[in-house]
Amino acid sequence: MTSTDAALPATASARDIAAAVRRRELSAREVIEAHLDRIARVNPGVNALTVVFADRAREAASTIDSALAAGRELGPLAGVPMSVKENIDLTWSATTNGWRGMAEVVAARDATVVRRMRDAGAVPIARGNMPDFGMRWDTDNDLFGRTLNPWDRSRSAGGSSSGDAVSVATGMSSVGLGNDFGGSLRLPAYAAGVVGLRPSRGRVPRAAVTGYPVAQTLQEFSVNGPMARTVDDVALALDVMQGVDADDPVSLDAPRLRGLPRRIGVVRSFGDGVDPQVAAGIERAAASLTRAGWEVVDVEAPRLEETAVLWRRLSCTDMLMSLDPADLGMPLGRSATAFLRDSTAAARPYETAREYAEAWAQRAVVAADWRRLQAEVPVILGPVSASRMREPDYDLGGQEAADRAWRDLWLTVAANFLGLPALALPTGLGDDGTPTGVQLIGPMFGEEALFEAGRAIEAAVPPLPLP
């Protein structure tokens, strides 16, 4: 073990790393070297990171150290290594979206969330892998290959932000930047045993709108968000990333709801039922919240199956329109093509403008029921997935497999459909030695309540070891 390893354990939080750099207990360059060394040792076995920015990261770290030596004030993420998902613009490499057709497409400027993180002192160290256009609940593509679950190679690593989740879980980065259209932050966080936040719609800027039409479901369901090893680190990253962006008309300076009733509603089962290990994780979380002074009650998520069906049919309708190979100029990868075929066949996309419009209109009815519930019970506790992580490619293999993968995630996609904030976090290891976890869903702009509840759960669970 080197002296840097001793001073900087691979499980160190982003807050601790930044504090050590500011106190000059460690240099930013030492932090980056330690993480580059870990990437060299770990990434070949999991294929989480697609491009490693060794030279650029060292240069950025040296700039931070020079600024510190000159007496300049550093940001709250000084020297913290972060990974950036392949669909978020970073000028250091192509924004491929995990697709061969964009392997050479390098953005002219960083995405706003990347710029804000860099201005706060974070150092991009690598890119995180993803499926083509984020269009699966597992991660594989023809450009970079499959990302493996570090806990158990026979299980899926989830999708679509799994490269960043695995990177954080294994100590290759401290923060991962991803996005969530249908669980793409929370499902990989559950699989890897890290914390993932899907912020409220509009709180964190998405991609810049540059004149090309953006599918309605992308505007309404998808958000950028952070993953990290602790709730506090995710909260810190949100503080840095949030706020209105002139290039994203969906973004806004969102209020921060405070003083909500400390009441949790537990969703214990839905659909085909919940795996016993998943249920045990929910019970551990509920017990932790009770001990911390929260009132815990049982609830049923309003119109849950209807909500999941609406999310799925609208999403698949838009995917068929926006990912037509004739318009893209090149086919999707093999697994993405199979997923699109199976999922759209199972979902029954809308065929008429009237059907499509009526589905969007129904969202207000669903949202009203959720709002009435969350006025009384602000935070909803339940599973990220009703099942343990399944085998790789579990979301492929025909309509039955597509249906099964979707049914597991009814509660997860409900948050996307409604634009609500949701926090996924681990609840220890299951009997099989892989992480268990839960999610907390808050009212619109209720992230502070999620963090408070998440800290109570986290405090009662021993930190997970490195996989």
Positions marked active-site: 85, 160, 184
Distances (CA, A) of 165 to 23, 49, 52, 148, 299: 28, 10, 16, 11, 30
Q: Report the 10 Å Cβ neighbour count for 205.
A: 24
Strand partners, 180: 223
Q: Tally Cβ neighbours within 10 Å of residue 82.
A: 28
Q: CA torsion sign, 200 to 204 to 206 to 208?
A: positive
CA angle 231, 236, 238 (to 5 degrees): 95
Q: Is residue 354 packed enough to be buried (19+ CB in 10 Å), middle (13-18) or exposed (0-12)?
A: exposed
φ/ψ bin of 285: left (φ > 0), alpha (ψ from -120 to 50), beta (otherwise)? alpha
Beta-ladder partners of 298: 266
d(CA 406, CA 232): 30
Q: β-pairing, 435-441 with 195-198?
A: unpaired
Q: Rounded to a whole number, what is the largest CA-CA distance in the chain? A: 65
Using DSSP's 3-state secondary structure scheme, residue 296 falls into: strand
| Per-residue CA distances from 3 to 30, 33, 96, 116, 168 (Å) | 10, 12, 37, 31, 22
Is residue 141 within 8 A of residue 131, CB to CB? The reply is: yes
Amino acid at 392: P
Of 101, 168, 89, give the one whose Cα is nearest residue 331: 101
Peptide bond into 160 cis (omega under 30): yes
Running DSSP on this structure, what letter comes out for residue 255? -
As a whole number of angstroms, the distance between CA 114 and CA 91 comes to: 10
